[in-house]
Structure 1
Amino acid sequence: MNIKTTVTISERNLRYAEKMVEEGVYPSVSELIEASIEQMMLNRQSPDDAVANMADEIRQRMELPREQWIPLEGDTMFEEVRALISKKKAEKRNGV
């Protein structure tokens, strides 16, 4: 059930919303606002969700073959990570 209400938004946001409607991205400003609220609801996670997602990511990474793991030694770990990041950035710049 839809409920009619009144909202106040900035002129800038209204112009943007109307532009999106003019371009056919949304059928109306109301639909744009509703879609934006739905997106915010989907993106909102409870702390439990965040921990569960982190646990899932760790499990996925643990399933990688050993040769894809990054070996790190205790005292030099941060230097090794920084060097690895620099190497990856350089490869990306050089198109490798």
Structure 2
Amino acid sequence: MNVKNTVTLSDRYLRHAERMVEDGQFPSVEKVIEAGIDSLMQADDQAGADHDPLAGVADEIRRRMQTPRDQWIPMDRDNLFDSVRARLDEKYKSK
């Protein structure tokens, strides 16, 4: 549902919005303002996601994806856990 509202913009912001419309980036000044509000809403959503307990999981997955391929554990369905255990044993023996 659209609600009509009146917004007062400074000359600077209005000129910039009108220039974006003239350049064909947006069909109207209204859409420029909506895009700005959308950007603020996404930033709020992202800030909320930082407090999300699963956000750490996503960070860990990204971190692990940076692991060089030569350090990956090959997928051997029959011996996968044996390989993981062997790697962990090696890691903890050296400490």
Q: Same fold (TM over 0.5)?
A: yes
Which of the two has greater helix per residue?
1
> What amino acid sits opposite 2:3 in the alignment?
I
TM-score scaled by structure 2? 0.57
Q: Secondary structure at the match of 1:45?
A: helix
Name the amino acid aligned to 1:58.
E
SS in 2 for 1:38: helix
Could you tell me how far apart the structure 2 residues matched to 1:25 and 1:47 are?
27
Note the C-alpha offset of 1:36.
1.4
The one of 45, 57, 60 equivalent to 1:58 is: 60
Equivalent residue number for residue 36 of structure 1: 36
What is the correspondence of 1:1-96 to structure 2 with a 5 Å cutoff?
1-45=1-45, 49-51=49-51, 52-63=54-65, 64-65=67-68
Which structure would you say has the larger RCO, counting Cα contacts within 8 Å and 6 or more residues apart?
2
Q: CA deviation at 1:46?
A: 6.2
Calculate the TM-score normalised by the size of structure 1: 0.56
Question: CA separation in 1, counterparts of 2:40 and 2:32?
Answer: 12
1:56/1:20 CA distance change after superposition, 3 Å: same
Q: Identity percentage over the alignment?
A: 41
Deviation of 1:53 (Å): 2.8
TM-align CA RMSD: 2.5
1:54 Cα shift? 3.6
Q: Give every structure 1 segment of 4 or more consecutive aligned residues whose post-TM-superposition deviation is greater than 6 Å.
A: none
The gaps in structure 1 that reach 5 residues or longer are 69-96
Matched to 1:21, the amino acid is V
